[in-house]
Amino acid sequence: MDNIKLDFQKHIDAGRCNGAEWIINNNNNIYHEAIGYRDLDLKEKLSKNSYYRIWSMTKPIIGFAAIQLIEKNFLSLDDTIDKYLPDFKNLKKLNTFNSKLSDTKPVDNIPTVRQLLQHTAGFTYNSSDNSLAKEYEDRNLFHSPSSSLEEEISKIIELPLLFEPGSKWHYSISIDILARIIEVVTKDKVINVLKENIFLPLEMKDTNFYIDENRNKQLVETFEYNNDKLKLTNLNYDKRKLILYGYQTNNKNYSRGGHGLFSTAEDYEKFATMLLTGKNKNGKDLINSENLELIRNNSLNKELFPIEITSINTIKDENYENDLNGYGWGLGFRVLMNNTPQNKFGSLGEFGWSGYAATYFLADPKNNLSAVLMMQILDADMNIKKDFYNNIFKNL
């Protein structure tokens, strides 16, 4: 822990980080620390169990809820999505990644629930570098902080896919579509499904799509790292950046699948630790062992490797690293398959995910270890997470 604190202090002193909070659970020994500040100017100390926008760390929770519903026979991995969202039955696909929206042909196969979880279904993200992503942005997909999930998914139904389902791995809005399917099959709001099946059994009392107004002051402010100035700055709301997505603090009707949840380090650690066994602290199964192994092992065929996430702003210069080198993809989680020069110390089989504002978590069955890192920095310097990760595995 001393090494981790020293590294974070180094990043704070250099202006790369304002503050961070982390929890490491190794064999039920808990190490919980917070360092730095909530802001850039007032230097208000960052306290433990502040609130964070966890962005894409919403996805594993939604994916896990979907697997729970599969166990209960609400749906199946190989169901095509038009079974639940009939308007998807006449899907088309672009002829190439940068074809005009009119240059399409019918898909050979409708995407499946499995492909939504794998990010092989053919959808994209507003921030990606392709013509369909630009159309997502032009239609302000997910920009509204007040629209329903159903309304947002209805915008996607009108558009083609980027590619034939199953033919590529491409990070996308597919988990938002999965969240809408959860609402359809349960005839309930997705937040109610999460509360009943995940948050209540794990006593995750501070994870939700909204924050009560009297707790807004506990929400950590978000900044971004400016690569030219090599320091943190206030947010720049450029077009095609996901910061434009609506992320309301106090709208009880708001829900999403790919982002949208607020959480605390302590709450998310409960979820990460549960993934080691599928059980809560009282021994109650949240998922059976067969499905637990399914979600945390690679599910991709070898022709889909390497997996990589890039955006319209990605610059592949001599300093560029694909931080997913060595990783495969389970059903909702990255999973480490091979150590690489950029990842010499990681434990094979560790799995987890991260969020747009530099939140990060992992679960490592081999070492009975989970770890959660909370920050609120867009485009954060990759060395911050790398130092945190290496300190854990070098010192086991």
pLDDT of 94 reads 97
Q: Are 77 and 113 in contact (CB under 8 A)?
A: yes
Any domain includes 259: yes
> The domain containing residue 173 runs over which residues?
49-320+327-340
Q: Does 2 reside within a domain?
A: no
108 near 98, Cβ under 8 Å?
Answer: no
Give the whole-angstrom CA distance, residue 372 versus residue 267: 10
Q: Can you give the CATH number for the domain in which 120 is found? A: 3.40.710.10
Q: Is residue 384 part of a domain?
A: no
Predicted local confidence at residue 318, as pLDDT: 87
Is 35 within a domain? no
pLDDT means per 10 residues, the chain with 396 residues, are 94 96 97 94 90 98 98 98 97 93 96 98 96 95 94 96 98 98 98 98 97 88 92 90 90 94 98 98 97 97 97 89 96 97 94 98 98 97 96 92
- Check: CB of residue 300 under 8 Å from CB of residue 307: yes
Alpha carbons 12 and 34: distance in angstroms, whole number: 12
> How deeply is 184 buried, as exposed, middle or buried, from its count of CB atoms within 10 A (0-12, 13-18, 19+)?
middle
Cβ atoms < 10 Å from Cβ of 173: 25
Residue 69 inside a domain? The answer is yes
Question: How many helices, marked H, and strands, marked E, lie in the chain?
Answer: 10, 14
Give the per-residue pLDDT at 209: 96
Q: How many other C-beta atoms are found inside a 10 Å radius of the C-beta of residue 108?
A: 10
pLDDT the model gives residue 389: 97
Q: Residue 219 has what DSSP assignment? A: B
223 alpha carbon, distance to own chain's centre: 18
The whole-angstrom distance between residue 393's C-alpha and the CA centroid of its chain comes to: 22
Please report whether residue 17 resides in a domain: no
In a domain, 389, yes or no: no
Q: Provide the domain count of the chain.
A: 1
Domain membership of residue 31 (yes or no) is no
CA–CA distance, 331 with 216 (Å, rounded to integer): 33
| DSSP per-residue letters across 100-143 | -TT-EEE-SS--BHHHHHHT-SS---TTSSSHHHHHHHHTTTTT
pLDDT at 97: 86
